[in-house]
Each structure stands twice: as structure tokens, then as C-alpha cells.
Amino acid sequence: MKLIHVVGARPNFAKIAPIMRAVYEYKTIEQVLVHTGQHYDENMSKCFFEELGIPEPDVNLGVGSGLHGEQTGEIMKRFEQFLMNDHGDIILVVGDVNSTIACGLVACKLHIPLAHVEAGLRSFDRRMPEEINRLLTDAISDYLFTPAEEANENLINEGIPEEKIYLVGDVMIDTLIWEMERLEDLDKPLFKDLNNKEYAVLTLHRPSNVDDPRVFKGIMKALNTIAEDIKIIFPAHPRTKKRMKEFQIYTDNDNFRITDPLSYRDFLRLYRNSRFVLTDSGSIQQETTYLNIPCLTIRGNTERPFTISKGTNILVGVDPEKIVRESKKILAGEEKKSVGFTLWDGKAAERIVKILYEGF
């Protein structure tokens, strides 16, 4: 059995890593790691490979950035050419980036079984490119591996046969647990002048938040107000920095610190020891719920509503007043607690590989 894993962007590495480690327990499974090159930073990518315990990709398609249609088409073209020479038995894709749907379509048209990890997540907002990628990938997948019961319900409501759906838990939690067990300085502050639980962490990168100067300036106004009460550490995405310069957006408080992007382990140390997190990311909503850290999501919706109903997450949208108000509540001790998830036990990847192996 040959299993071909596909990654396209840095967040995909953390999702694929536990699956690749689980495959090593099966001597009869050959695995190949394909990086489409959708997002690629040689220094940061190498750091991620080393920290997550996965090898350098066997293949890098080198697609690079571009418009959605252009990028998706180029990934399909190059991945199809690769499969013509190295035909796998199962193609495994993760998440919701353009590489996910592009490689999924190629697999489907070549009649190669397709496995989708993080299936069933829905924001119900089709203006999000990721939502389209999720919907289409799930519609053509043969194995749909879900992180929570709500994801199963979404798929069943869309008419996906139940025999294709497997509730396995969250591979991001697998990686989180694996890293925490191996990180010696986990409780040590990342920066010398920080004390644990005396700062907040910010991530902000979604085009809907940073490409509209009115929205971006409103968010930053709220964040500057919050920084009057607590330090904010912001590992900024290069694209976000570019927009800040373009829109002449500045931090006007010494408590507001912008840093370069961090490795997985450094970022884990940073947010695990924080008072709370402000984010527009997806996976951080899950990780903060697992760690029982308050999370304010700067979006109008989330594809992970279970982090709200059962976790520590609160949707604050882009309303500056609400962002400030909910932050002040946390600082005053009013925060949500996570009730936990039964399959978030660090063994989701093991369940995935066992299902694929036994079904082959």
C-alpha cells in the first residue's frame, strides 16, 4: 500500500506529522510526502520539519503564490503529472487550502481513493475560499475523518453516506500533546521580560481582516485599547506586515509588541503561557480549547462551532467595541471553561491509519 500525503501550507505540516509517525508502525505501508509549494518559506519550513519529527518532502511541486484559480489549476497540472509517474493507492489531504481541493480533484479523476482529514468543518459562509474547498473536497472523498460530532452531522445533512464518515478526533491535538511531552522549556516564558499569564497573544492574517483598511484599522484601534491593560505579543505574518505599511497602521502603545513569525514550538510556548489569545486562525481555536485558554476569534463565523459550545472560544467579529469588551471581561476573571472532547486524546492519527490499512 502506497499512501501519498499532500501538504500545501505551513499549518498542514502540524496536521500531517502525527499521521506520518503513525504510519511508521506499519511496515507494509509506503508513504510519500508531496509539498505543492502553495506557501513555502525554506527557513521556516525546515524548522517545522525538524520540530514535528517529519522528513523533508519527497517532492516539492514548487507552485508558489497566485490567484485562487491560477494556483489551483497549476497545482492540479503538476500533481497530475507527478501521479502519472508515481501512482499511489490512497491520496490523503488535510485541511482546507487550495492544495487540498486541487489534489483531491486530481485523485478523484484518476480514480485513486481520497482521504480527507478535518472533514465536515463548516462556517456556512461561502464567501470564504476555504469553505468552498471544504465542501468540494468532502463531496469527492472516500474517507472523511472528522474531529468532532458536529462535523459528522454536517456531512450527514449534506447527504454523505455514513459509511464514509469516521469520527477520529483532532490531529492538531495529537501534535499539541506530542510537542508538550517533548518540550523541556514549556513553562518558561519565551521572552525574558514576560511573565506567564501577564500578556495576550495575537494572530491576524485573513484577507477579510487585513486587506480592507477600514476593517484593519478598526481592529487595531481595539487592540491598542486592550494594550493599555495588558501586553499584546503579535507574531505577524509577512503579508499582514505589508498591509500595515501600505495602510499606515501603527501600534501606538509600548505594550503592543510585533515579532517575526515563530516556529511551532516557540509559538506553543508563547500562547500556552498567555492570559488569553486573540486570533482569526482556525486551529488555534481548537488548541486553546484543549488547553483551557480563553480565545477571542476576530471573525464573523467559525467552521469550529464546537469550540464555542463546548470550549473557551468566543466570536467577537470585527466590532472594536465588542473586541475590547470581551477582553476586559477575561481580564476581570469572566471566562469560559472547556468541557473537553472524548477523542481529543492524542491518538486521532493512529485511528486514521488503522482505518485506511484495514480498508485497503
Average pLDDT on 179-208 reads 94
Written as nine digits, the cell of 280 is 482569526
Percent of the chain scoring above 90 in pLDDT: 84
SS3 content of the chain, % helix, strand, coil (to 5): 45, 15, 40
Query: Model confidence over 163-179: pLDDT tens digits?
Result: 999 999 999 999 999 99
Query: Looking at 59-73, 100-114, 177-191, 293-307, which range is the least confident one?
Result: 59-73
- The pLDDT assigned to 43 comes to 52
**Averaging pLDDT over each range in 50-59, 63-72, 241-250, which range is the top one?**
241-250
The full DSSP string for 86-148 is S--SEEEEETTSHHHHHHHHHHHHTT--EEEETTT---S-TTSHHHHHHHHHHHH-SEEEESS
User: What grid cell was written down for 302?
Assistant: 467559525
Catalytic residues: 205
Half-sphere exposure at residue 140, Cβ-oriented, CA atoms within 13 angstroms = 22
Residue 215 to residues 75, 238, 241, 244: CA-CA distances in angstroms? 32, 18, 15, 12
Statement: residue 44 has pLDDT above 60: no
Structure confidence at residue 250 (pLDDT): 86
The predicted structure's pLDDT at residue 85:
87
According to DSSP, residue 279 is labeled E
CA distance 192 to 117: 38
Give residue 45's pLDDT. 63
- Residue 78, amino acid: R
For residue 100, give every residue at least 6 positions away whose Cβ sits within 8 Å of its Cβ, in sequence order, or none: 6, 8, 93, 94, 116, 133, 137
Side-chain half-sphere exposure of 282, counting CA atoms within 13 A: 20
Q: For residues 245-268, give the mean pLDDT.
A: 91
Please tell me the least confidently modeled range out of 42-51, 87-96, 251-260, 326-335.
42-51
Q: Which amino acid belongs to residue 36?
A: T
Domains and CATH numbers, the chain: 2-170+344-359 (3.40.50.2000), 199-331 (3.40.50.2000)
More confident residue, 315 or 263: 315
Any idea which residue has 509577512 for its cell?
238
pLDDT of 41 above 70: no
Residues in the chain: 360
